[in-house]
Amino acid sequence: MTWTIPNVLTTLRLLAAPAVAVMFLYFNRPWADWFALVLFVGAAVTDYFDGYLARTWKQTTKLGAMLDPIADKAMVVIALMVIVGYSSMSPWLVLPATVILFREVFVSGLREFLGDTAGLLKVTKLAKWKTTAQMVAIAVLFAQGVFEHYLWASTDGMDQPMVDAILTGREEDLHGLRWKLTGMIWSGHVGLWLLWLAAALTLITGVDYFRKSMPYLKD
């Protein structure tokens, strides 16, 4: 195994995947949301740089080729598991997450079955856009958790009529409730829209991969 800088970045991204979930075991929210967001965004950034550096420095290795897709899938699967687990289990969130998880498991099993033949099925640009959409959607949904918990922390000690008065402008907003609520709503909506877009791209690329593998599956 060759431990080049791109391979080290890929390995760190792989280790960051379970660390995202661990944040919610050892820290209270919103600190857990902050740490998970920073970890996830940092790992997503390395996803670009490790591939770019490997190509630029001509340091493409078998180790990197193996770890890179595993790290991507681990990041997405674990982050989605955390987000769904801490959500209200809304079907609008669970459904696209299920599509993404099913496709990733299905394609991984298909690649394992195809063995060396899987290397002949090249990654398309649409598949790269799929991964980007997944990463951005998950990062925005983590940001929603940050806004949400700062909002509820700011209302500590207030009764509901006072909160309503501040949000409707009848009372002075000394704790920034309105902008925190706006951030929570918009990040929730944008994150959900992006997750549905990611789910659509995930489904399309999954069907395309299965179609390309059909000649190798015939008896």
Using DSSP's 3-state secondary structure scheme, residue 105 falls into helix
Instruction: Specify the higher pLDDT residue, 199 or 87.
Output: 199
Is the overall model pTM greater than 0.75, yes or no?
yes
Domain count, the chain: 1
Burial class (CB in 10 A: 0-12, 13-18, 19+), 188: buried
Q: What one-character-per-residue DSSP string does 127-174 give?
A: HHHHHHHHHHHHHHHHHHHHHHHHHHHHTTT--HHHHHHHHTTSS--T
Q: What is the CATH number of the domain that holds 194?
A: 1.20.120
Q: Are 68 and 10 in contact (CB under 8 A)?
A: yes
Which residues are CB-neighbours of 135 under 8 A, at least 6 positions away?
40, 44, 47, 75, 76
| Domain hosting residue 104, numbered range | 5-217
Q: How far apart are CA 161 and CA 167, in angstroms?
A: 10
Label residue 136 by pLDDT band (50, 70, 90).
very high
**pLDDT for the residue 2:** 66
Question: What b/e readout covers 66-83, taking b as 16+ CB neighbours within 10 angstroms?
Answer: ebbbebbbbbbbbbbebb
Contacts of 130-134 spanning 24+ positions with Cβ under 8 A? 130/198, 130/201, 130/202, 130/204, 130/205, 131/47, 131/72, 131/76, 133/194, 133/197, 133/198, 133/201, 134/76, 134/100, 134/195, 134/198, 134/202
Q: What is the pLDDT of residues 73-130, one digit of tens each?
A: 888 899 998 888 887 778 889 999 999 999 888 888 888 787 766 565 666 778 888 8
The per-residue pLDDT for range 31-55, each reduced to its tens digit, is: 888 888 888 888 888 877 777 777 7
**Phi/psi class of residue 23: alpha, beta or left (left: φ > 0; alpha: ψ in -120 to 50)?**
alpha
Q: How far apart are CA 209 and CA 123, in angstroms?
A: 9
Question: What confidence score (pLDDT) does residue 108 get?
Answer: 83
Q: What is the pLDDT of residue 218?
A: 75
Place of tokens 């890929």: 10
- Number of residues written out for the chain: 219
